[in-house]
Amino acid sequence: MRRTRWTAALAAIATCALAAPAVAHDGAFQDAWWMGENHPGWYWESQESQSQNVKMIGSVERTRRDSTYRNSDLAFWGDKVYAGHYDGFQIIDGSDPENPEQITDFACPGSQHDVSVWKDLLFVSVETPRSSPACDSKAMAGGMPGFEGMRIFDVSDANKPVLIKGVPTDCGSHTHTLVPDAENNRVLLYVASYTAGELPQSSYGNECRRLNPDGTRAHRKISVVEVPLDNPAASSVVSEPTFPQNDRAGIPGYNGCHDITVYMKIRRAASACMGEGQIWDISDKEKPETIARIHNPNVEFFHSAAFSWDGRTVVFGDEAGGGTGPRCRPQDADTLGALWFYDVPSLDVMDDTTEEASLSSWKVPRDQTTPAGVTQAQDPNCTMHNFNTLPNTKRDVLVSSAYAAGTTVVDFSDRRNPTEVGHHDPHGANTWSSYWYNGHIWTNDGGRGVDVMLLSDKVRAGTQKLAHSNPQTQDAVLR
pLDDT digits (tens, 9 = 90+) for 317-349: 999 998 889 999 999 999 999 999 999 998 876
pLDDT at 365 (0 to 100) = 94
Contact assessment for residue 51 and residue 22, using Cβ atoms and an 8 Å cutoff = yes
pLDDT at 53 (0 to 100) = 98
pLDDT at 106 (0 to 100) = 95
Domain range list for the chain = 3-474
Q: What is the pLDDT of residues 261-309, one digit of tens each?
A: 999 999 999 999 999 999 999 999 999 999 999 999 999 999 999 999 9
Q: Which alpha helices (DSSP H) does 419-465 contain, by range?
A: none
Going by their DSSP bridges, the two strands 468-469 and 71-77 should be labelled as antiparallel
Contact assessment for residue 234 and residue 198, using Cβ atoms and an 8 Å cutoff = no
pLDDT at 29 (0 to 100) = 30
Cβ contacts of residue 295 below 8 Å, gap of 6+? 246, 276, 352, 354
230 has pLDDT over 50: yes
What does the H/E/C string look like for 2-62?
Answer: CHHHHHHHHCCCCCCCCCCCCCEEEEEECCCCCCCCCCCCCCCCCEEEEECCEEEEEEEEC
pLDDT at 203 (0 to 100) = 38
CB atoms within 10 A of CB 261: 26
pLDDT at 72 (0 to 100) = 93
47 has pLDDT over 50: yes
Closest alpha carbon to 244 in 314, 284, 294, 176: 294
150 vs 171: CA distance, rounded Å: 11
pLDDT at 38 (0 to 100) = 36
pLDDT at 44 (0 to 100) = 63
Residue 24 bridge partners (DSSP): 51
Of 97-111, 195-209, 372-386, 421-435, the range with the lowest mean pLDDT is 195-209
30 has pLDDT over 50: no
For range 39-53, the mean pLDDT: 71
Cβ contacts of residue 387 below 8 Å, gap of 6+? 304, 306, 315, 317, 339, 398, 399, 400, 401, 434, 435, 471
461 vs 474: CA distance, rounded Å: 20
pLDDT band at 143 (very low <50, low <70, confident <90, very high): low
pLDDT band at 6 (very low <50, low <70, confident <90, very high): very low
pLDDT band at 198 (very low <50, low <70, confident <90, very high): low
pLDDT band at 148 (very low <50, low <70, confident <90, very high): very high
Of 27-36, 127-136, 398-407, the range with the lowest mean pLDDT is 27-36
- φ and ψ at 431, to 5 degrees? -90, 120
Q: Which CATH number fits domain 3-474: 3.40.50.800, 2.40.50.140, 2.130.10.10, 1.10.10.10?
A: 2.130.10.10
Contact assessment for residue 354 and residue 292, using Cβ atoms and an 8 Å cutoff = yes
Of 8-17, 133-142, 163-172, the range with the lowest mean pLDDT is 8-17
pLDDT at 142 (0 to 100) = 67
44 vs 355: CA distance, rounded Å: 36
Average pLDDT, the chain: 86
Closest alpha carbon to 257 in 200, 207, 304, 325: 304
Residue 261 bridge partners (DSSP): 270
475 has pLDDT over 70: yes
pLDDT at 67 (0 to 100) = 54
Closest alpha carbon to 445 in 107, 73, 42: 73
Q: Let me know the angle formed at the C-alpha of 388 by 204 and 412, rounded to the nearest 5 degrees.
A: 125
pLDDT at 128 (0 to 100) = 87
Going by their DSSP bridges, the two strands 80-85 and 71-77 should be labelled as antiparallel
pLDDT band at 65 (very low <50, low <70, confident <90, very high): low
Q: What is the pLDDT of residues 442-453, one digit of tens each?
A: 999 988 899 999
